[in-house]
A and B are shown apart, each in its own frame.
Chain A
Amino acid sequence: MRFSFVNVALQALKHNAGWPGQWRNTEPKAAYDAIIIGAGGHGLATAYYLAKEHGLTNVAVLEKGWLGGGNTGRNTTIIRSNYLWEESAALYEHALKLWEGLSQELNYNVMYSPRGVLMLAHNTHDVQVGKRHVHANRLAGVDNEWLTPEEAKAFCPILNIARDVRYPVIGAALQRRGGTARHDAVAWGYARAASARDIDIIQNCEVIAICRDASGAVSGVETTRGAIAAKKVGVVAAGHTSVVMAMAGVRMPLESYPLQALVSEPVKPMMPCVVMSNTIHAYMSQSDKGELVIGAGTDAYMSYSQTGGLHIANQTLEAICELFPAVRRMRMLRNWGGIVDVTPDRSPIIAKTPVPGLFVNCGWGTGGFKATPGSGHVFAHTIARGEPHPLAAPFTLDRFRSGRLIDEAAAAAVAH
């Protein structure tokens, strides 16, 4: 049932008892044309675009837990596209353009809010890097502008621009089209839209082996709910990509790290935009519920623990208290960790693999949420055609051999 004024009104008269489930939960079939491992935002978007753009509907999305229960449900929902290198800016800008029409396309309110992303500079190096990004972005057709501290404070009035603090704000880059979206709604919206196009979403179905035929090509997967055959398998498993790819004998240029976020008690609207600081690993915005959503840095060591060290969150909060003195007495309600898969150059991998029929979309590190629609869109193309989408073409696995890295680590707009 579509969400429309008429249907909302009709259901209201029936005490909203008539809304159907938003997606079908099905038993796995014996065989599919393609299998996506991982029902997070990226995996569900991939399935949706496989059906919509490429007419592939005999597709299953397998999820070991519940859909959207991994990093899709754990991130700080920041959306922006102001990356330095042309390859990255083109990919993230593709995603941003899809965000702009996503609620209408999915008929599901993903609450995309282009409220502006302000990236602070605290020292001369930050200013040089920030201005370089602004110029590079404007040449690439991506909006980004440089603000003085006074202009930054006018844009975000609770920001402290005093000069006599540990991390003074001496400038900021602003992407006005950046912002936030409701993370769960993105997973639910894509699941609903994919399910409506006959794609099977199978939760509580963990892949335990990837099967290969005599020629070495993928022939299917073994799961906790039985064997499923498929000639094409796309792995979209975020922090667990190395574990899943090891099932096919493929070693990955990835390390998995815990990344933390936390939210405060809810308060009335006090923050009109997203503010991030790469130097001090602090990100803050306010959700529509009123909670301040705060992102911290990764732990120093790789881990699958899904928790982070308290000293990491503490360091972020100290910086937040200095940048936003108004929040000093607020209490934090929850904190949590997710496991992010980090590549050596901090750029994703959207590619074919040495195993015929096996595709991988990973390495989004600490910033994959913003790319969800674009990632799914170009990965669907890669799976359906067997050749990378032009925007995904630079993001190969082979770049680590050839040396054609897309080094957003050195160039990072944020310290990933």
Chain B
Amino acid sequence: MLLIDCPYCGMARPEIEFRYGGEAHIARPADPAAVTDEDWANLLYFRSNPKGVLAERWRHAFGCGRFFNCLRDTLSDKILAVYKAGEPRPDVGAERAEPRE
């Protein structure tokens, strides 16, 4: 079970208090009518699914109820940074957890 630091509550809480929100920083189009089928498919269904650092959304469903973003290494499951919705993705390149393999 992950221990996740909620940037709003300012404390680490167990994963079961949170709901997963999938990949972060996927912006909705400003003008949906102008979006092509390819771009809709990319927006709705295609994901980077990286083996490495992933920016993802979590919602503190049984806490403050708010969405925030998280950088996590998907091989070690180590959480590298949490940050509030709307903030830019932090640079954690140097802090990247060592692969276990």
Binding site for B on A (CB under 8 A): 240, 242-243, 251-256, 300-305, 309-311, 344, 400-402
Q: How far is the CA of A294 from the CA of B36 in the complex (A)?
A: 45
B74 touches A302 (CB 8 A): yes
Contact B54 A302 (CB under 8 A): yes
Distance in angstroms between the alpha carbons of A303 and B53 in the assembled complex: 10
Taking CB atoms and an 8 Å cut-off, the chain B residues in 1-45 that contact chain A are 1-2, 15-16, 19-20, 22, 37-38, 40-42, 44-45
Whether B15 and A302, one on each chain, are in contact in the complex, defined by CB atoms closer than 8 angstroms, is no
CB–CB A304/B47 < 8 A:
no
Residues of B within 8 A of A302 (CB): 22, 49, 54, 56, 74
B46 in the interface (beta carbon within 8 A): yes
Q: Beyond A401-B41, A402-B37, is A255–B56 a contact (Cβ under 8 Å)?
A: no
Given contacts A252-B49, A301-B20, contact A311 B1 (CB under 8 A): yes
The answer to whether B46 and A400 have CB atoms under 8 Å apart is yes
Given the complex, which residues of B lie within 8 Å of A256, measured CB to CB? Answer: 49, 74
Most A C-beta atoms less than 10 A away, residue of B20, B22, B44, B46:
B46
Beta-carbon contact of A254 and B75 below 8 Å: no
Q: Which of A242, A304, A344 has the most CB of B within 10 A?
A: A304
Give the distance to chain B from A209, nearest Cβ to Cβ, in Å: 15
Q: Given A253-B46, A309-B1, A310-B1, decide whether A304 and B37 contact each other with a Cβ distance below 8 A.
A: no
Q: Which residue of chain A lies nearest to B49 when distances are taken between CB atoms in the complex?
A: A242
* Pairwise interchain contact A303-B77, C-beta atoms closer than 8 A: yes
Q: In the complex the two chains form, is A255's CB within 8 Å of B49's CB? A: yes
Q: CA of A304 to CA of B48 in the docked complex: distance in angstroms?
A: 13
B40: A residues at CB distance < 8 A? 401
20 of the cross-chain contacts (CB-CB < 8 Å) are A240-B51, A242-B49, A242-B50, A251-B48, A300-B15, A300-B19, A300-B20, A302-B49, A302-B56, A302-B74, A304-B51, A305-B75, A309-B1, A309-B2, A309-B15, A311-B15, A344-B44, A344-B45, A400-B45, A401-B37
